[in-house]
Structures are given as structure tokens and as C-alpha cells.
Amino acid sequence: MTLYEAIFVRKSIRSYDAEPVDQQVIDELVDFLSDLNAPFPDIDWDFDTLSYDEITQIMDGPPKLLAPNWLVLRSKKDKGCLQNCGYLGQMAVLWLTARGYGTCWQGGLEVSHDFEGVLPYIVSIGFGKSSEPFRSGPEDFQRKTLSAIAIGDTKGPLRPLMEAARLAPSSMGMQPIRLYTIANRIHVYRKKPLLPMPQLNYNQCLDAGVCAAHLQVAGEALGYKVLMEKLEPAPEYKKNMLYQMSARCIKQED
């Protein structure tokens, strides 16, 4: 299975075998993540792959998700760091899904005593072997229609990329991400939350990065070079929309 194919079958898995993932797979995941470029490349980021026992040591309490392996994403706290970690984490999710491993984002965990000398904790993802099946295809997703989340040139050649972004997971399934397509750019926004809840804003910034990962993977699979960029000034959209980034899609010659 390719990363692009994984978009259409991925599912949040909540039951896992106790057996840890083979070390060779962990090493390959580390190599994959280490080669990635984040949307905001000037922000330092890092990650760890931990066992359940190891992640329990840094948390306020043991995670309720009994996944045998964990990906912990860390970053310097700067504007764009959450979007970076959402992107990097979802790329890891698609990589693991393509190899048959279950994954589940864990956005509400609290780290009380992280390892010494590491960057600040951002978010974690549990993963491992599971008997829970993936989705069989796009028809199994409960998502808003593309017309509900996208405007602009939604029927042009970039429509398949937007459809892939539509299937991206989001915190509590709220789907706050909106897309505005003009020419060869897909502008990514998120809806401004109605309530001033810091955790909600935090999670929805991660959601924007997750969406960007789907745009990147779909674009590359369909013959585009996809460049993530932050435009100044931000492209105008509705007043209650917060601009996150843009995906510039350059069609590659065969």
C-alpha cells in the first residue's frame, strides 16, 4: 500500500495487541521521519519512539490507549510549530497505515516530567498491531462534502488533492479546515472557534498540519511537486477564517 492509498483506508484504531512493533520497522519509521521537511522548516522539531512503559514515565498518568508503541513529537514553541507537528505526525500515520499498523492520535495527554534536554512536548500518537480492520474505502468515511469545506476552483485539476484533504482526521471530528483554491494554489484555513478555548485552538492548529500532509501525499502521487508556503499578506477569505498555509502545486512533466 502506498501513502496515498493509505489516505482512503486509514482509521483511528483503539485496540491493540500487546506485542511491540519490530525494531526494524521502528528504525525504518525513524529514517522516514528524519527525511521529512516540515511546512515551516525554520522551527526546530524532534521526535521519540517510546514503548508504553516509557511514555507512562513522562505522563501525569498512564495513557488510556493501550498501544504498545508511541511516537512523541516535540518542537520549539513558535508560530507554526503545531501545524508542523500535525503534518509530521500524519505523515507517520500514513506510513504506518501503509504497512498495516494501527494508529491513534492522542491530543489530550499531559506531560509532567519529560526527559532532560529535549524540546517541548507537542503531541503523541499510539501505534501497533491490531485486529481492528481499516476502512474499506472512501465510502466508509463520515465527512462533510467537498462543497461544504472548499471554495474557488473546486472542479479543476486539483480536486483530487482537495478530496484527499477532506478525508483528513480532525480533533473530535469537527472538521474545522477550509480550502480555497485559486489557480495552482490550495490555501488552507481553519474556522475561528466560537469559544475561546486554548486546547481547541491548539488541536485545530494540529488539524491544519494533518490536512497539509494529505495535500502533500496526494499531490506527489498525482504528479505534482507540492510546496508548502505562508503567504504575506494572507489571501482574503471570510472574516471568521484563520489562514494557516498554502500548497503550491506544480505539475511535473512525464
Q: What is the mean pLDDT of each run of 10 residues along the chain (254 residues)?
A: 98 96 98 97 97 92 93 97 98 98 91 89 97 96 95 95 97 94 96 85 97 98 97 88 97 79
> Cα(5)–Cα(137) distance, rounded to whole angstroms?
9
Q: How far apart are CA 179 and CA 189, in angstroms?
A: 6
What the block records as the C-alpha cell of 240 is 471568521
CA gap 210, 216 in Å, rounded: 10
Name all domains of the chain by residue range, CATH numbers in brackets. Answer: 3-128 (3.40.109.10), 142-251 (3.40.109.30)
Those residues whose C-beta lies under 8 Å from the C-beta of residue 206, and which sit 6 or more positions away, are 82, 83, 85, 86, 89, 105, 107, 122, 123, 171
Please report, for residues 36, 69, 102, 109, 221, the alpha-carbon distance to residue 56 in angstroms, rounded to integers and kept in the order given: 27, 11, 20, 10, 37
Of the candidates 225, 195, 75, which has an alpha carbon nearest to the alpha carbon of residue 204? 195
SS3 label, residue 206: helix
Cα gap 49→88, rounded to integer Å: 13
Buried-state track 34-57, b at ≥16 Cβ within 10 A, e below 16 = eeeebbbeebebebbbbebeebee
CA distances from 206 to 2, 61, 107, 125 (A): 23, 23, 9, 12
- The per-residue pLDDT for 126 is 98
What burial class does residue 108 get, using C-beta atoms within 10 Å of its C-beta: 0-12 exposed, 13-18 middle, 19+ buried?
exposed
* Exposed/middle/buried for residue 153 (C-beta within 10 Å: 0-12, 13-18, 19+): middle
pLDDT of residue 236: 84
